[in-house]
Amino acid sequence: MSETGRNPIDFPMALLAELTHRCPLQCPYCSNPVELEQAGRELDTGTWLRVIEEAAELGALQIHFSGGEPTVRKDLEEMVARARDVGLYSNLITAGVLLDEDRVGRLVDSGLDHVQLSFQDSEATGAERIGGYPDAQKKKLRFAGWVRAAGLPLTLNLVVHRQNLDHLPQLIELAVELGAQRAEIAHVQYYGWAFRNRAALMPTREQLERATATVEEARERLKGRLVLDYVVPDYYARRPKSCMGGWGRRFLNVSPAGKVLPCHAAETITGLRFDSVTERSLADIWQHSEAFEIYRGTDWMPEPCRSCERREIDWGGCRCQAFAITGEAGATDPACALSPFHDQLVALAEADSGADCRDFVYRRFANVVRRNTPMPAK
């Protein structure tokens, strides 16, 4: 393996397989790029099966089937079975609105190991407004029951923001009621569609403090029953997170069209060229792709990152965020209090959280539309 900045590049721990950008939901914080891939550009079954095999040969331990909504792919069971055959732990990341009990059974029979189910709010009105899909809450609750009845471990993905954050206690109780072992409470991270909707999504600092206190109380109260992962918005941080374990160090993302990315938002960095599994092997891309090498390790880092004692802890933070705020992907992550752009990030958070903006630009393939629907009363 190659070495950059004294840091040997080991095997990737996980592959995120974005099978499609098609999705019945239209969440305004979706991590998919604003320019969505049409169905006709998606990798075919045979190519995905090869990619799964190559991921296992490269040393990956896990595969996460994602989208869009991965269950729109009729060949999902075949991919899950191949993951089982090559020894990968498989996780389905889904909205849960398109499946019936029979298909859940087929996925289990194919070897599926785990399910992550997203909820947009704790109650139907808010969930359907945020996700833009009728009867979503009822379908999600029914799907969760099938997952638990099948004996699969269940994680709830709870993406929180200004317009649902006051329902966080109810969202945590929902996870308990559904028998989830884990809930990932993630404040919106502002890339792609979320960046476009930042003024409608950014929480106030007071909301963030209440949410953090709620999570801390629930962790203590539910110890041994429910694991709570918690991700705060970078705009209010003082130190950057170790984004994906460091650029090109532990994580691979394959897009619906076959581009191999160091993180799911990497395509927001214009000027980088990402290689495709239709042209090169996964191992060759992992080891030698210029897009992976450019921000690996520590040699690329500017000051104060280069001499920081945390440089091999946070690995410089998030390149996509640096690009979104400064226009330079190699800049110090503005989430860091030592960054010359940190005050700018804080000012953006304060301005957006105080904005009188309640309308969403919904995630859609064509003709981005603004829907003027009032936010439910608190």
At 151, the amino acid letter reads G
Q: What is residue 371's predicted lDDT score, i.e. its pLDDT? A: 35
Determine the Cα–Cα distance for residues 314 and 246; give it in Å rounded to an integer: 7
Region class of 317: left (phi > 0), else alpha (psi between -120 and 50), else beta: left
Q: What is residue 224's predicted lDDT score, i.e. its pLDDT? A: 95
Rounded to 10 degrees, what is the CA torsion of 78, 57, 312, 272?
-70
Mean pLDDT over each residue of the chain, to the nearest integer: 92
In a domain, residue 263? The reply is yes
Question: From the annotation, which residues make up the binding site for [4Fe-4S] cluster?
Answer: 23, 27, 30
| Assigned token pair, 172 | 């945590």
In a domain, residue 109? The reply is yes
| Assigned token pair, 247 | 């650029």
pLDDT digits over 330-356, tens only? Answer: 999 999 999 999 999 999 999 999 999
pLDDT digits over 185-210, tens only? Answer: 999 999 889 999 999 999 999 999 99
Determine the Cα–Cα distance for residues 122 and 100; give it in Å rounded to an integer: 22
pLDDT digits over 242-269, tens only? Answer: 888 899 999 999 999 999 999 999 999 9
In a domain, residue 266? The reply is yes
Whether this model's pTM surpasses 0.75: yes
Q: Taking 90 as the threshold, does the pLDDT of residue 155 lie above it?
A: yes
Structural domain range at position 172: 12-367
| Assigned token pair, 75 | 């060949």
Backbone angles phi, psi at 40, to 5 degrees: -65, -15
Q: Taking 60 as the threshold, does the pLDDT of residue 99 lie above it?
A: yes
Q: What is residue 193's predicted lDDT score, i.e. its pLDDT? A: 94
Question: From the annotation, which residues make up the binding site?
Answer: 23, 27, 30
CATH code of the domain covering residue 271: 3.20.20.70
Q: What is the mean pLDDT of residues 32-60?
A: 95
At 208, the amino acid letter reads L
pLDDT digits over 135-154, tens only? Answer: 999 999 999 999 999 999 99
In a domain, residue 376? The reply is no
Q: What is residue 10's predicted lDDT score, i.e. its pLDDT? A: 81
Domains: count for the chain: 1
Q: Taking 70 as the threshold, does the pLDDT of residue 58 lie above it?
A: yes
| Number of CB atoms found within 10 A of residue 175's CB | 28
Q: 292 and 266 in contact (C-beta within 8 Å)?
A: no
Model confidence at 1, pLDDT cuts 50, 70, 90, reads very low
Model confidence at 8, pLDDT cuts 50, 70, 90, reads low
- 346: which residues sit within 8 A by CB, 6+ positions away? 235, 236
Q: What is residue 241's predicted lDDT score, i.e. its pLDDT? A: 87
In a domain, residue 240? The reply is yes
Q: Taking 50 as the threshold, does the pLDDT of residue 39 lie above it?
A: yes
Three-state SS for 230? strand
Q: What is the mean pLDDT of residues 224-243?
A: 92
Q: Taking 90 as the threshold, does the pLDDT of residue 7 lie above it?
A: no
Q: Taking 80 as the threshold, does the pLDDT of residue 365 lie above it?
A: no
Backbone angles phi, psi at 64, to 5 degrees: -115, 115
Q: What is residue 366's predicted lDDT score, i.e. its pLDDT? A: 60
The secondary structure of residue 359, as a DSSP letter, is -
In the chain, the percentage of residues whose pLDDT exceeds 90 is 88
In a domain, residue 296? The reply is yes
In a domain, residue 108? The reply is yes
What is the chain's alpha carbon radius of gyration, rounded to the nearest angstrom? 20
| Residue 15 vs residues 38, 254, 338: alpha-carbon distances, Å | 22, 7, 32
pLDDT digits over 294-317, tens only? Answer: 999 999 999 999 999 999 999 999
H helical segments located in 329-372: 342-353
In a domain, residue 3? The reply is no
Q: Taking 50 as the threshold, does the pLDDT of residue 6 lie above it?
A: no
